[in-house]
Amino acid sequence: MGKTIAEKIFEAHTVDSLAGDITVIGLDAVFCHEITTPIAINDLMARGKDRVFDTSKIKAVIDHVTPAKDSKTAMQGKILRDWAQRHNIKDFFDIGRNGVCHAIFPEKGFVRPGYTIIMGDSHTCTHGAFGAFAAGVGTTDLEVGILKGVCRFKSPKSMKVAISGTLVPGVYAKDVILSIIKIIGVNGATDRVMEFSGPVVDRMSMEERMTLCNMAVEAGATSGICAPDMVTVDYLWEFIKEEYPSRQAALEAFQAFTPDGDAVYSDTVEVDVADLVPQVTFGFKPDQVRPVSEMEGTKIDQVYIGSCTNGRLDDLRIAASLLEDKRISPKVRAIVSPATPDIFSRALDEGLIKIFMDAGFCVTNPTCGACLGMSTGVLANGEVCASTTNRNFNGRMGKGGMVHLMSPATAAASAVAGTITNSEIFCDKGERR
């Protein structure tokens, strides 16, 4: 019987099989940030077990509130920083070199096809874009991962999400994943891996695949996952060129983590995106999604472009292309947060930052901050945000605030209009990709 990508990865990493169809897997990487890791560190210390399973497999970053906003967040950073120094964790990204975890870790080449990765962060599913099994976990699972390099999961079932058709210009990966969550619902993929495939995924860049996989958890999925291909190899080449004689050789090695033709899936969802238009959320759940045209004119107070979903260079390029020689509406304020220092630096080189600033955007350092209402862009009671982030939960970006999730293009167009719109960006003519 054929196997899915997740089944192949689990098969290569099984440490123990427990009753109730639970598998304990060995981990290739444990990612850490300053919100969920310090409590794990403190607990390990209290237990007299302040150890790490493998210094080289632990990567850590301060990203959620950075620079620290108060004494409490400063202490969270300090606990992580001191721990990284104490254990000689070389891949620790402190202020000045830090970025949003799910953007900076792939950028540094820490994610490879076939890897198993956990992090105390639900959007860890992002890294499945590389053909890895990557799952968010709580602090206890993180603690065991740090100490022992293992984690337990229900043996994975996979949902096949086959995406066909050709995207119209102005429609992006964010619109695709919002439309899929709308179809399957916020628990449509609970306890399963969403395996994305089809010609649309094949044509996507790694950045777009990361946007797709990033929001798998919003449908309840354990991990998103895309089969590794030459796009994956090209992205990783600078990190793996010593390991493989050629890109073709790397591709052949990565074939070990592509699904078999007769793999068995728990469900299959087939989506044709040919007629897909820009999408936006309207309620407090990520499956409350409708075409932007139906929300046209909705008043907004703030626009936010950034996050692990849509704070990468291509996202900034798309938004900037719609902001050039324009000003945001005087009725709104707008914030852009490049997701990593490298993205920020390239955006400077390309003149994107100047376009944002000339348009009236506030440009912040890389941070998760506003997405979860912790810093740098918290909403006031009753305010509305047009946001490229991933969650529209009640109070997510600030108590009493409303969040509308959308693509960077829709967010940029909305910033100019002062209300939700896609009129600037969307046409059903022109070249399809």
Partner 1 sequence: MKNFSGRVLFLDRSDINTDEIIPAKYLTESSKEALKPYLLEDLNLDGFDPKADIRDRAIVVTRTNFGCGSSREHAPWAFEVNNINMVIASGFARIFRQNMFNCGMMAVELDPGTIDHLFKRYGGGETVITTDFDSMLFTVSDDKGTETLPFQVSDFDLAIVRAGGWVDYADKHY
Residues 301 to 320 in contact with partner 1, rule: CB under 8 A: none
Using CB under 8 A, pick the residue from 112, 174, 209, 391 that binds partner 1.
391
State the Cα–Cα distance between residues 192 and 374, nearest whole angstrom. 30
Residue 161 DSSP symbol:
E
* Adjacent-strand bridge partners of 263: 2
Phi then psi for residue 292, to 5 deg, are -55, -35
The residues near 38 (Cβ < 8 Å, ≥ 6 apart) are 75, 76, 79, 80, 83
Q: Identify the DSSP state of 60.
A: E
Region from 71-79, 105-113, 194-202, 299-307 binding partner 1, contact rule CB under 8 A? 71-79
**Rg of the chain taking only CA atoms, in angstroms:** 21
Q: Which of 11, 54, 82, 191 binds partner 1 (CB under 8 A)?
A: 191
> Identity (one letter) of the amino acid at 109?
G
Q: In this complex, which beta carbon is closest to partner 1, that of residue 120 or of residue 278?
A: 120
**Among residues 28, 107, 121, 315, which is the contact residue for partner 1, using CB under 8 A?**
121
- Please count the other Cβ atoms lying within 10 Å of the Cβ belonging to residue 66: 26
Residues from 212 through 251 that contact partner 1 (CB under 8 A): 220, 222
Minimum CB separation from partner 1 for residue 425, in Å? 29
Does residue 166 interact with partner 1 by CB under 8 A? no
397's tokens: 């970006």
CA–CA dist 281, 209 (Å, integer): 20
Residue from 2, 11, 45, 47 touching partner 1 (CB under 8 A): that is 47
In the complex with partner 1, the residue whose CB is nearer, 124 or 422, is 124
Instruction: State the residue for tokens 């209009």.
Output: 417
From CA 121, how far away is CA 28, in angstroms rounded? 17
Residue 394 makes contact with partner 1 by CB under 8 A: yes
User: Which of 50, 108, 139, 247 is the binder for partner 1 (CB under 8 A)?
Assistant: 139
148 binds partner 1 (CB under 8 A): yes
User: Which position among 2, 22, 272, 428 is part of the footprint of partner 1 (CB under 8 A)?
Assistant: 22
CA–CA separation, 103 and 100 (whole Å): 5
Question: Which residues contact partner 1 (rule: CB under 8 A)?
Answer: 15-16, 18-20, 22, 24, 35-36, 38-39, 42-43, 47, 49, 64-65, 70, 72-73, 75-76, 119-122, 124, 136-141, 143-144, 147-148, 150, 152, 154, 186-187, 190-191, 220, 222, 284-285, 372-374, 391, 393-396, 399
